[in-house]
Structure 1
Amino acid sequence: MKSWLARSPLVAILRGVRPDEVEAICDALEAEGVLIAEVPLNSPDPFESIRRLAARFGERMLIGAGTVMTTAKVAEVAAAGGRLIVTPHADPAIVRAAKEHGMLAAPGFLSPAEAFSLLAAGADALKLFPAEGSSPAALKAMRAVLPPETLTLPVGSVGVENIPAWRAAGAAGFGIGGSIYKPGDTAAAVAAKARALVAACSLAS
């Protein structure tokens, strides 16, 4: 996960995307340097979208699923070709299932207790969610006790305006939802938003 985040600190959360538009959206993301994308499982026909992205983008992008709530869904994502599992909650069983399938796992957490339990289960990165319920100061304080190599990604109301503060607090990357894609967005609109976010990350590095 570290090597992916070094190349692309932004994870595009494509909530609500449809299979018939997902390839064009990811074409736009890749062109702007966003190389990690997750299709939340509460999107229309998410496994078909994941299948199409895995077939089209292969090793060039890290494709996975978000809002993964059960271990059974992990197996379905793996069968569709996804390589990343993201959860909104702290469930070590889902982390272990992802690792059993040879996948990367970025589960959600909001407290040090949750963070340590997820790391013990083998999490590759930790999703600070909802980030609007936390703060850069809280992340900085937690990073003081977490293992120094821990990769943390704030998710929730993250955008151009607050990326610098999160980066200064030690965020390794960012999960971006509505600030990069909303249902109905064209590929051109996504490209423009991605371009601004990539620039913000570059300035904050």
Structure 2
Amino acid sequence: MGVKDFLQRCPLVAILRGVKPEEVEAIGDALMAEGIAIIEVPLNSPEPVESIRRLAARFGDRALVGAGTVLDPADCARIAAAGGRLVVTPHADPEVVRAAKQAGMFAVPGFFTPAEAFALLKAGADALKLFPAEAASPAVLKALLAVLPKGTAILPVGGVEARNLAPWRAAGAAGFGIGSAIYKPGDSAATVAAKARALVAGLGGA
């Protein structure tokens, strides 16, 4: 299954910035129970590769697990070695995209302009992350989709929460990266489950 297949199942990507390896499996269980099957561990979290290894071992093909905040193409190999299948960046770097694809992973790089979007797609990006979404709008997304290749999947990330999912969905968002609205350091698995439930309910309204 590709990125778009997982997004069709549930268009939410849980960004677990700051999660620790010893808590990540329980949090992963909570997310999966609520239907969220794309999990991103940013590399500026404690021991991120170990968290990715544990999630990948626990869920296998049932979840799409990978790394976020990937800045260095060289990191792609160790993410893949840990079982990660997804690389997400905050910036428009075709080199990271190419490294992720060479390592057999999916790449969802960050972009903000049409020029960046086209360059990343040319490098092999599987989907694109509109970041920071707070500085854009659903109208911007709609305009981007009008010029990008048909079927391009764009995920707004930054400031997305249950109450503002609907306008982004209406504009054509294929999914959403959710950070603090789904997990903050110190959140219990039960807290994450409740946040996830609210977000999935918000999708129903969208």
User: TM over 0.5, yes or no?
Assistant: yes
2:170 maps to: 168
Quote the Cα distance in structure 2 between the aligned partners of 1:127 and 1:20: 29
Matched with 2:6 is 4
Q: What residue in structure 1 maps to residue 20 of structure 2?
A: 18
AA partner of residue 188 (structure 2): T
Match of 2:63? Answer: 61
> Of the candidates 32, 37, 42, which is equivalent to residue 35 of structure 1?
37
1:44-85 alpha-carbon deviations (Å, 9 max, x no partner): 000110110111111110000000001111111011110000
Give the TM-score normalised by the residue count of structure 2.
Answer: 0.98
- 2:205 is matched with which residue? 203
SS at match of 2:74: helix
Name 1:47's counterpart in structure 2. Answer: 49
2:77 to 60, 75, 78: 75
**CA distance, structure 1, for counterparts of residue 105 and residue 60 of structure 2:** 14
For residue 144 of structure 1, the aligned residue among 143, 146, 151 is: 146
Whole-Å separation in 2 of the counterparts to 1:98 and 1:17: 23
Shift of 1:161: 1.0
SS of 1:158's partner is coil
Moved over 6 A (4+): none
Matches for 1:74-113 after TM superposition, within 5 Å:
74-113=76-115
1:203 to partner: Cα distance: 2.4
The separation in 2 between residues aligned to 1:35 and 1:8, in whole angstroms, is 7
Q: What is the aligned-residue RMSD (CA, Å)?
A: 0.6
Where does the alignment leave 5 or more consecutive residues of structure 1 unmatched? none
Find the aligned partners of 1:9 and 1:124 in 2 and give their Cα distance.
Answer: 15
Supply the AA of the counterpart residue of 2:170. A
Q: Provide TM-score, normalisation by structure 1.
A: 0.98
Q: Which deviations, in whole Å up to 9, do the C-alpha atoms of 1:144-174 show, x marking residues without a partner?
A: 1011210000000000111001001100000
Cα offsets for 1:93-144 (capped at 9, x unmatched)? 1111111111100000000000000000010000000000111111111111
Q: Name the SS of the counterpart of 1:162 in structure 2.
A: helix
Partner letter of residue 203 of structure 2?
C
Question: What residue is the counterpart of 1:158 in the other structure?
Answer: 160
